[in-house]
Amino acid sequence: MSESPNVLPTYSGEAEPYWQGLREGEVRLQYCKSCETYQFYPRPICAGCWSDDIEWRAVEASGTVYSFSVPGFAPHPSFKARMPYVVALVDLDVGVRIMGNIVDCDPDTVTIGMRVDPVISEIEEGHSLLNFKPQQGAQA
């Protein structure tokens, strides 16, 4: 892993079902049955009510761009070739906010409030990330 030229996720035990879901093409989030909310990032219990009555659920993962930035420099060499790229915070419809890149579009067309759909991007074999792309017609 230290040999990779890319910035890979730092894997930790409680989040493994999230990363495994992405590797299998599915977005899985933790749902607290006690307070009836999803949470991100994963934890052993619900960070809101501290209930341990939580389960993993596959979700649609569409959402709305809350804010974004286009970095003027690459914070790590692996991002240089991708410039310009969009770093965004996306509010998923299921009620969690998550960071992702907005891909498959011209960065100049991204706006706050834009509807986006999930894209699961494999950065290298065995390592997948949740990203987003504008919904059909969202750029109109």
Partner 1 sequence: MASQHSSQGIAIAGVAESDLGSVPGKTIFQLQMEAAKAAIEDAGLEKSDIDGVLTAAPFNSMHMPSMALSEYLGIQPSYSDSTITGGSSFETHVGHAMAAIQAGLCTTCLITYGSTQKSDRSRNPQGTYGNPEPPWQFEAPYGPPLPLAAYAMAARRHMYEFGTTSEQLAEIAVATRKWAALNPKAYTRDPLSIDDVMNSPIVTDPLHRYDCCLVTDGGGAVIVTSLERARDLKKRPVVVLGFADTHSHMGISQMPDLVRTAAGITGPKAFGMAGVKPSDIDVTQIYDSFTITVMLCLEDLGFCAKGEAGAFVSGQRTAPGGEFALNTSGGGLSYCHPGMFGIFLIIEAVRQLRGECGDRQIPSANLALAHGVGGVLSSHATLILGGE
Judged on CB neighbours under 10 Å (0-12, 13-18, 19+), 135 is middle
Q: What is the per-residue binding string for partner 1 in 97-126, x denoting contact by CB under 8 A?
A: xxxxx----------xx---------x---
- Asked if 6 and 123 touch (Cβ cutoff 8 Å), the reply is yes
Q: Establish if 13 lies at the interface with partner 1 (CB under 8 A).
A: no
Q: Establish if 12 lies at the interface with partner 1 (CB under 8 A).
A: yes
- Nearest CA to 39 out of 98, 87, 90 is that of 98
At 78, phi and psi to the nearest 5? -65, -15
Number of residues that bind partner 1 (CB under 8 A): 37
Contact region for partner 1 (CB under 8 A) — 22-30, 52-60, 61-69? 61-69
Contact region for partner 1 (CB under 8 A) — 4-12, 27-35, 51-59? 4-12
